[in-house]
Amino acid sequence: MTTDIDVAHAKIHRLSRLYLTLSRYDGERFPAELSTSVFQMQSGEVRTSMLIRDITERKRNEAQLAYLAQHDALTGLPNRLLLTDRLDLAVAQARRSGTLLALMFLDLDRFKQVNDLMGHELGDQVLHQAAQRLKACVRASDTLSRQGGDEFLLVLPDIGSPEAAVPVARKLLDALVMPFYLGDSELVLSGSIGIACYPEDGTDADSLLRNADAAMYVAKDLGRNCYQFYSPAMNERIRERLMLEIDLRRAIEGDQLFLAYQPQFDFAIQGVIGLEALARWQHPTLGLIPPDQFIPMAENSGLIVPIGAWVLETACRQQAAWMAEGLVDGPMAVNVSMCQFRQPDFIEKVTDALSRTGLPACHLELEVTESVFMQDLDRAMQTLEALRSLGVKLSIDDFGTGYSSLSHLKKLPIYRLKIDKSFIQGLPLDQENAAIADAIISMSKSLGLEVVAEGVETQEQARYLHSLECDAGQGYLFARPMAARECTDFLRDCAGATPVPY
């Protein structure tokens, strides 16, 4: 027997079907929310009500939230969450079908310097452009993801062999080395890629990610701008790297670090006019660790700040001792990293080091690279002016390898430029380096700056630089870096030696 309520429910059902066909006045369908009710009046009459709400905006917001939860806001690429889901799915499909897949881990080389030199806003523009270039290199079936920072992951499903990933890797690297144009600035970057393949290098997403990451670090160690396939030995290499960083932390407190000193010679008088302090690490089991191995590690981990503070005070104390003995009258040069330079208490640390060691400020020379004043010139100028007001001498190290302009040099309170050794190699026969060295020396003289050439190894180089009116040289021709005791003997010998003109 059909009741009035049954009839009402049937009516609502028909209206619901009608609701499904509702459209806007312009004919466009819209999402809606339907609320219905059936109730019986006291008179026995059955009534129905239906409320339809346009929830277009809510659905749009929900879709946007779902998109943001799975995509990188800067580049629009899938994020780590979505990449993990797709990689898990790709592994499962490869397992069922017996096919291969490759996972690439790509990291932009030295991108931290881009942020440090140009600021994070321009750094973000570079990341966005890089993402678009990389995306143009892959298939629709591939998944390109940004993991954060300057790291990207690429899933290549259903490849015939591991070698099939090679053309893709080369295409990605070629896309990155094309110049990036940011307003009036031009920037050249590169990338390093690690490749892990299923099932040989891992049978699940975690192992593939871990091994592709290990291969990427090996690519960086091999010179960057290249790709490397994973091999089991790489995990051991990464483990050794991590252990070495742990050992470096212990080395700071365990008296494993020491300073070597390399004299600087005046070309005209053939005498020592100063020295440079260079950090060295004597590992208890691995022996002497090259500075180009542990200094970048210290910079990346932040350990360069305590190491730099130790270098500064140790060098000042040694210079004060040599001056007291009458062995040297020039300044002691100490390298300052960008991280140190930007510490809020850097001026205080310099002042304290001079006070504790008794070294006159005019006998301390702080060497900075061009990068320290490229991002925030005004802030850098304040720090440099504060140092100069203390009486500390300031110089630019490795000049010619950065982005300095003549307008910057005119403003900086420096007294010396050090020509990078890469421009000294091959002199005087290397015409390109000869032209660069000549230009740097001529420019320096016009600005009233002294010039020191690094990496001088031959008499021919020394004579040529002297002919260009370069003031001084530093390199193996004159002396190798020496421990304090050996350098003391060297300085004593130099004090009684007769100069030999070029």
Query: How many Å apart are CA 443 and CA 451, to the nearest integer?
Result: 10
Let me know how long the chain is.
502
Does residue 244 or residue 391 have the better pLDDT?
391
pLDDT number for residue 23:
44
Average pLDDT over residues 188-192: 90
User: How many angstroms separate the CA atoms of 470 and 35, rounded?
Assistant: 88
Q: What is the value of pTM for the model shown?
A: 0.64
Whether 195 contacts 228, CB under 8 Å? yes
Distance CA 173, CA 309 (A): 39
Q: What value does the mean pLDDT of the chain take? A: 84
Please report which helix (H) or strand (E) contains residue 385, including its range: helix 377-390
Contacts of 433 (CB under 8 A, 6+ apart): 422, 423, 424, 425, 426, 427
Range from 17-21, 249-253, 425-429 carrying the lowest mean pLDDT: 17-21
Give which of 149, 50, 63 is closest to 105, Cα–Cα.
149
Rounded to whole angstroms, the Cα distance separating 473 from 88 reads 59
* Three-state SS sequence of 169-199: HHHHHHHHHCCEEECCEEECCCEEEEEEEEC
pLDDT-derived band of residue 26, with 50, 70 and 90 as boundaries?
A: very low
For the record, the structure tokens of 261 come out as 């000193």
327 burial class (0-12, 13-18, 19+ CB within 10 angstroms)? Answer: middle
Q: What is the rounded CA–CA span in Å between residue 248 and residue 254?
A: 9
Separation CA 456–CA 277 (nearest Å): 17
Spatial CA neighbour of 95 closest among 185, 204, 174, 188: 204
**Contact yes or no for 193/172 (Cβ under 8 A):** yes
For 54-112, how does the pLDDT look when each residue is reduced to its tens digit (9 = 90+)?
Answer: 666 666 655 555 656 778 889 999 998 899 999 999 999 999 999 999 999 999 988 87
Q: Is the pLDDT of residue 477 over 60?
A: yes
For residue 15, pLDDT over 60 is answered with no
